[in-house]
Amino acid sequence: MRDLVEQRETLARVRMAGSSGAAIVIGLLAMGAVLRTAFQVALPSTVLAVGVVLAASDLWLAHLPPQQSQRRLDRINFLHHLLDICGITFVLQQLGAAEWGGAYLYLFVVLHANIAYRRLGAMVVTSLCVVAFVSLVMADYWGLSPPAALFPQREALLRDPRYVATMLLWVAVGGLLLFSLNVGAFADMLRGKQDELREANARLQEAAERLRGRSDELELAVERRTQALEIALQQLRAAHAELTRVDELKTSFLANVSHELRTPLTSIRSFAEILLKYPDEESDNRREFLQIIAIETDRLSRLIEDVLDIARIESGHVQWNFSSVEMSSLLSFCVRSVAPLAREKGLALHLNVPADLAPVRADRDRIAQVLNNLLGNALKFTERGEIAVAAAREGDYVRVCVQDTGPGIPDSERAHVFEKFHQIGDGLTAKPRGTGLGLAICAEIVARHGGAIRVDGPPGGGSVFSFALPVDGAQPESAAAPLVLVVASDPAVRQQHRRALEQAAYQVQEAQDAAEAMRLLQSCPVDLVYVDAEPADLRSLDVLRALPTGSNTRQVPVIVACGMEHREWALELGAACHLAKPLGDGELAAAVAQALGARARAAATAPAETSRA
Amino acid sequence: MGDGDLILVADDEAYIVRALSFVLSKAGYRVITAADGAEALDRIAGERPRVAFVDIMMPKLDGYEVCRRVKSDPALSDTHIVIVTAKGQRDDQTRGMALGADEYITKPFSPTAVLKLVRRALECG
């Protein structure tokens, strides 16, 4: 682009030089004509010829077509000036005088060179002119000029006042002309430069405007980024707090393990030393001490097994073998293996499993471990009555219950019973102690199956331990697709969401605002509410406030789509999830699926009605 | 050999109580026991044993708390408190000593060491 502008500039200059050059040469030729007619001086034909050539070349320059390359223009320019210098020098030499006109013409060439060239070219041309001028003067001085037609009359002419006047007049006019041409040329150049500057200024202003706009955008982006960063920071802090908590748990676990391991070791060592120290102790005592050593050795080894087991499960180093498991056969197997012990204690054993119970997705051995542990505890702590095992379908899960008529677990302890190293029945010091890890391991195993284990106290007394396992290849039992209520003020927006949800096989109801939504919710059981809130109208979020008050709407999850600035508020009001607008493809369907899935999981492990076998 | 001095053994682990009681009574001391911190405190206040073995990890009141209460009660502060730690870590020992315990012993311990400790405690008066 710059080159194009430069080319055009150079072209303009060259044309200018050409036109003014042509004017001067033609003026010279006119002068020649005057000399001939007024003063009967015949200019040599060579001089005339050179003059015509110069004029022609200048005229050609003045009308140079555009689309010349810069190099071509530069070359033309330079050649032209060379031609000028040579022509002038020749003419002056022919005329035999370095008249004022001569010096004058050189000056003209120099000035034009300065217009036409910027740097080196102008210097070169200037130097050439100076050299030519000086050499002409010297030649004249040394008498090297050839005798020309003008010579003999020159002395006479110089005494003629008319000639002098004409010469002076020509010099004056020519000078003025030159001057004005050059000034004009300079003025054009300056104007051109001014235009350039104005253009540049306009562009700068434009750029400044754009910059300002950009800086506003940047500010906004920075604000949004800061918000996002703050949220991320909060999440990081929460994660860090969680990590610290887990780390503390691990440390206390280690401390507990250390204590628990040393305790039986202490007994073993103490009694071994006692037996060594008092070899003649009565045999009853000796037998008792040996038994204690045996019991505590067992306990220690079981403890080590359990600690390793739970450490393996927690660190993920266990190979889980999930398969389709028939609970009826597994449960009857476990029950049968504790039947003899139950018979010994005089306890009744009951098993209640429907014949058509769906298979579950589980690791058979690990679930057997859980069942054996629960049954073992039931046997240990129940003195009279019965132990009942039952399994029943609950939605997409199968719930397994182990109930006993033992002393039960007080409410305050129920929350802690699955903690590591919590011994059930702390007051029963007479009973051989367990490892304290059995229920913790059960809790881990059940958690890995996506369920949760819990203990309740049925009305008749005793305890019931229960957990839920997912049905294998569970298809949603409910034949009807989940119903989603879309709340948005713009019908076009509702239509858009309807299409997206129906494509994902959901049923859709529409509501225009919170009031309509609440009316619909009274009559129609909805699985999820989706609120698309406009920044201007956040009253649709009132749905979040109204939902928990209804008995049938309390569990309904709400997904909110609104601006980031209202995200915190929406979540505080109880939204299950927040989506930022504009929504991506399939983002809504994915969020709905996740919210419904989470609710199903929560429902599966929520307080279940306890059933007696 | 001990001449009928009263010694308290407080631990929630029955077998440890049994082992200590056996060794101490074999050495001629009279032994009373407690299964938790509250019971330990009661028996120290009620029966005034000269030495009390107190396990750190006990239900109701832990060993540190028993030690602190005994040592801050002028009537009871001359009872020789032996803290029984299971961890063998410095912090427990320093903590116990800071609370005024006279001795500490770590599990697993040998009954012989226990006897030596008791003798030393009783000699100190």
B42-53, pLDDT tens digit by residue?
Answer: 999 999 999 999
Domain count, chain B: 1
Domain span at A338: 325-470
Predicted pLDDT at A424: 63
Q: Pick from B112, B35, B100: which is nearest to B67 by CA? A: B100
Say whether A285 sits in a helix, a strand or coil: helix
Cis ω for the linkage preceding A582 (within 30 of 0): yes
Going by C-alpha positions, the residue among A482, A476, A505, A479 that lies closest to residue A397 is: A476
Cβ atoms A331, A351 nearer than 8 A: yes
| Co-location of A329 and A452 in the same domain | yes
Q: What is the CA radius of gyration of chain B?
A: 13
- One-letter amino acid for residue A169 of the chain: L
**Residues forming beta bridges with residue B55, ordered by sequence position:** B84
Give whole-number Cα distances, B8 to A266, A269, B84, in Å: 18, 21, 13
In-domain check, residue B1: no
Task: Give a yes or no: residue A220 inside a domain.
Answer: no
3-class DSSP state of A381: helix
Residue A342 and residue A464 in one domain: yes
From the CB of residue A455, how many other CB atoms can be counted at a distance below 10 Å? 19
Specify the number of domains making up chain A.
3
* Residue A308 structure tokens: 């390793």
Residues 210-269 of A with CB under 8 A from B: 255, 258-259, 262-269
B28: Cα separation from own chain's centroid: 17
The dihedral built from the CA positions of residue A416, A418, A422 and A423, taken in this order, carries a sign that is positive
Averaged pLDDT, B80-106: 78
What single-letter amino acid sits at A560?
V
Round to whole Å and give the CA distance between B118 and B52.
10
- Together in a domain, A111 and A6: yes
pLDDT (0 to 100) of residue B30 = 93
Place of tokens 């879309």: A486
Asked if A263 lies within 8 A of B86 by C-beta distance, the reply is yes
Predicted confidence at residue A609, as pLDDT, reads 39
Q: Do B111 and A274 touch (CB under 8 A)?
A: yes
pLDDT at residue B9, rounded to an integer: 94
- Per DSSP, A158 falls in state H
In angstroms, rounded to a whole number, what is the distance separating the alpha carbons of residues A484 and A493? Answer: 15
Whether residues A450 and A534 share a domain: the answer is no
b/e map of A456-471 (b: 16 or more CB within 10 Å)?
Answer: bebeeebbbbbbbbbb
> How many CA atoms within 13 Å lie on the side-chain side of A457?
13
The answer on A78 and A110 residing in a single domain is yes
Whichever domain contains A373, its CATH number is 3.30.565.10
Alpha helices in A403-454 (DSSP H): 411-414, 438-448
- Does residue A503 share a domain with residue A450? no
Same domain, yes or no: A375 and A504? no
Are A426 and B59 within 8 A, CB to CB?
A: yes
> Does residue B50 fall inside a structural domain?
yes
- Nearest chain B Cα to A260, which residue? B86
Give residue A9's Cα distance to chain centre. Answer: 49
Could you say which DSSP state residue A548 is in?
G
In a domain, B13, yes or no: yes
Domain membership flag for residue A362: yes
Classify residue A372 as exposed, middle or buried by CB count within 10 Å of its CB (0-12, 13-18, 19+). Answer: middle
**Structural domain includes residue A390:** yes
User: Which residue is closest to B89 within chain A, CA to CA?
Assistant: A255
- A333 — contact with chain B (CB < 8 Å)? no
Query: Which of A422, A437, A470 is the last residue before a domain boundary?
Result: A470
Q: How far apart are CA A182 and CA A176, in angstroms?
A: 10
Domain membership of residue A169 (yes or no) is no
ipTM of the complex: 0.87
Alpha-carbon gap, residue A187 to A191, rounded angstroms: 6
Q: Which of A267, A296, A303 best tests the B interface by mutation, with the highest count of B CBs <10 A?
A: A267
Taking CB atoms and an 8 Å cutoff, what residues of chain A touch B18? 292
Nearest 10 degrees: Cα torsion B21, B25, B29, B30: 70
Please report the DSSP string for A208-248 in residue order. Answer: HHHHHHHHHHHHHHHHHHHHHHHHHHHHHHHHHHHHHHHHH
In this structure, are A577 and A498 located in the same domain?
Answer: yes
Is the residue at B70 inside a domain?
Answer: yes
Domain termination site, one of A428, A447, A470: A470
Q: Is residue B16 part of a domain?
A: yes
Q: Residue B100 falls within a domain, yes or no?
A: yes
Question: Given this model, what pLDDT does residue A611 score?
Answer: 37
Rounded to a whole number, what is the distance in Å from the CA of A575 to chain B's nearest CA? Answer: 43
Query: What CATH number is given to the structural domain containing B12?
Result: 3.40.50.2300
DSSP, collapsed to helix, strand or coil, labels residue A487 as strand
A187 in a structural domain: no
- By the CB < 8 Å criterion, does A285 face chain B? yes
| Positions in chain A whose pLDDT score sits under 70 | 1-2, 41-43, 93-104, 114-119, 140-141, 143-155, 171, 174, 178-179, 181-185, 424-433, 474-480, 535-538, 548-554, 600-613
Q: Fill in the DSSP letter of residue A422.
A: P
A-chain residues near B15 (CB < 8 A): 264, 267, 270-271, 292, 296
B28: pLDDT strictly greater than 80: yes
Predicted pLDDT of residue A477: 47
Contacts of A296 in chain B (CB under 8 A): 15
In a domain, A506, yes or no: yes
Residue in the structure block whose two tokens are 């100190």: B124
Q: E strands of B24-87, at which residues?
A: 30-34, 51-55, 80-85
Looking at residue A349, its pLDDT comes to 93
In this predicted structure, what is the pLDDT of residue B22? 92
Q: Which residues of A touch B38 (CB under 8 A)?
A: none
Among B109, B122, B20, B10, CA closest to B66: B10
Picking from A129, A159, A189, the residue at the C-terminal end of a domain is A159
Q: How many CB pairs under 8 A join A and B?
A: 63
Whole-structure pTM over 0.90, yes or no?
A: no
**Of the candidates A262, A285, A430, which has its C-beta nearest B86's C-beta?**
A262
Distance from CA of A476 to the nearest CA of B (A): 49
Which residues of A fall within a CB distance of 8 Å from B85?
Answer: none
Distance between CA atoms of A526 and A518, rounded to whole angstroms? 11
Residue A265 lies in a domain: no
* Structural domain of B16: 6-124
Q: What is the domain-level CATH number for residue A569?
A: 3.40.50.2300
- Residue B49 belongs to some domain of the structure: yes
Mean pLDDT of B103-117: 84
